Amino acid sequence: MGLRLYDSATRSVRDFVPLQPGRVGIYVCGATVQSSPHVGHMRTAIVFDVLRRWLERAGVEVTLIRNVTDIDDKILAKSAENDVAWWAWAYRHEREFTAAYDALGLLPPTHEPRATGHVPEMVHLMQRLVERGHAYAGDEGNVYFSVPSFPEYGALTNQGGDAGEDDDAATDKRDPRDFALWKAPKPGEPGTAQWDTPWGAGRPGWHLECSAMAHRYLGETFDIHGGGLDLRFPHHENELAQSRAAGYGFVRYWMHSAWATMGGEKMSKSLGNSLIVSEVLRTTPAPVVRLTLIAAHYRSMVEYSEVSVAEAAANWERFANFALRAVEFAGEVDDVASHPLPPAFVTAMEDDLNTAAALAVVHEHVRLGNTALADGVREDVRDAQAAVRAMLDVLGLDPLAAQWRDQAGDGAAHAALDSLVGRLLAERVEARVEKDWARADAIRDDLLAAGVVVEDSVGGARWYLKG
């Protein structure tokens, strides 16, 4: 495996060498389930799904952990505003995230731990930090990490603390840069949202959760920690500090995906420019959304707009049309997941998961496949089908995979169109039999004007949508 990845900590592209040959452990920061998922959330999730698929294509056993933060200030505040139990509010939105992941073709994580299910691990980590002099108790229920006690703080981002969190105004902190590991209940918060610890009842701080769960499922040192670019500071910086201060090696490679933007601004609810996934999928096919979000390199911003979605839709139609025509002409290729990949595609993916360059290779092989179809060379069509579908399988976009097969031809819409075009082609055959060439040509030209290309072959006329 010649994979090279950009490591956010060293700010360089490095050869990726797993801690254990043939095995890779990945921790991806998942959702804080305070509200419905928007398209921006899915960008990061899909990036790491593609990474996982690429590693598994290389024969690597991947353990991917994607956590769920199901307790925090915003969950408590929003559930109270809506007069719903906080745990019910969190679970409702957790299910929405799961539905969005599934709809967009993400493989399920190896484990998907909830923060509320790992309080004992968090208490153990706090005890370890207190014993090592890197954490201290404030007022009852509050525990803080001492930033001055750990000289390596800032190793990930070169920032020195003062994260601007809601606990910065706390009067029981020894240093304004210190951050909360454990938080005492606020007035009016429900008793169900707190757990007992040696320092008093309270609930976990956001950063503590991920360190504790990563250690629980991946051990003291693991390969890759991923998340969105906005998590580098303070979340990942604080995770790194508390895990290293506890004596753990923690992460060997840090990967951060850039944002999905709208109008040049990061997609977020605070800016009012979010696109809720469930609403988007009412009008945009799921593979088109997925293709839009991987069209650019994962470290580049991807603009989610009518233009980018339309371009992805046209590309998806081109991929799907070729796959369907290739199967019709030469039969379906089995087991594309084991078919050799074109060298140029491998080079692109090994180069820091360059999906933009990889998709260019897919387009080139679709072009070659369409040429083979036009020439009627069956073996070349089968080879092109296998190569194209194998590449798209790595990207989670094989048009003939079980999840996308109905959408490859646009399901019922394609069936209806096939019926209508079929009648016109039957009329064209009659015209040709009667040697009414003008009428036959007119039917073909009318179809072409509507975006339907007709190809004549020994086996009869075939049609496809102009891509």
Lowest-confidence segment of 4-18, 99-113, 158-172 by average pLDDT: 158-172
**Mean pLDDT for all residues in the chain:** 92
214-237 pLDDT per residue, tens: 999 999 999 999 999 999 999 999
Q: What is the pLDDT of residue 421?
A: 77
Asked if the bond preceding 234 is cis, omega within 30° of 0, the reply is: yes
Q: Is the pLDDT of residue 347 over 90?
A: yes
Q: What is the pLDDT of residue 412?
A: 47
Exposed e or buried b per residue across 380-396, where buried means at least 16 C-beta atoms within 10 angstroms of its C-beta: bbbbbbbbbbbbbbbbb
Q: Where are the domains of the chain?
A: 4-271, 306-408, 411-465
Q: What is the pLDDT of residue 461?
A: 74
Contacts of 236 (CB under 8 A, 6+ apart): 29, 156, 157, 225, 227, 254, 256
Question: In what helix (H) or strand (E) does residue 136 lie, and over which residues does it extend?
Answer: strand 135-137
374-391 pLDDT per residue, tens: 999 999 999 999 999 999
Q: CATH class for domain 4-271?
A: alpha beta
| Percentage of the chain lying above the pLDDT 70 cut | 93
Q: What is the pLDDT of residue 416?
A: 60
Higher local confidence (pLDDT), 247 or 171: 247
**Cα 271 to chain centroid, rounded:** 22
Which of 130-138's residues contact partners 24+ apart within 8 Å by CB, and which partners?
132/245, 132/246, 132/247, 134/242, 134/245, 134/246, 135/181, 135/242, 136/174, 137/199, 137/200, 138/170, 138/172, 138/173
| Cα 387 to Cα 37: distance, rounded to the nearest angstrom | 34
- Closest listed residue to residue 62, CA positions, set 9, 104, 30, 20: 20
* pTM, rounded to two decimals: 0.87
For 312-348, the DSSP string reads HHHHHHHHHHHHHHHHHHH-PPS-GGGSPPPHHHHHH
Question: In what helix (H) or strand (E) does residue 38 lie, and over which residues does it extend?
Answer: none
Average pLDDT over residues 276-296: 96
Average pLDDT over residues 448-459: 74
Average pLDDT over residues 164-181: 81
Grade residue 164 by pLDDT with cuts at 50, 70 and 90.
very low
73-98 pLDDT per residue, tens: 999 999 999 999 999 999 999 999 99
Q: Is the pLDDT of residue 270 over 80?
A: no
390-439 pLDDT per residue, tens: 999 999 999 999 999 877 765 445 556 666 777 888 889 888 888 899 99
Give the CATH number of domain 306-408. 1.20.120
Number of H helices, E strands in the chain: 15, 15
Residue carrying the six token digits 């379906």: 332
Grade residue 272 by pLDDT with cuts at 50, 70 and 90.
low
Residue carrying the six token digits 């060498």: 17
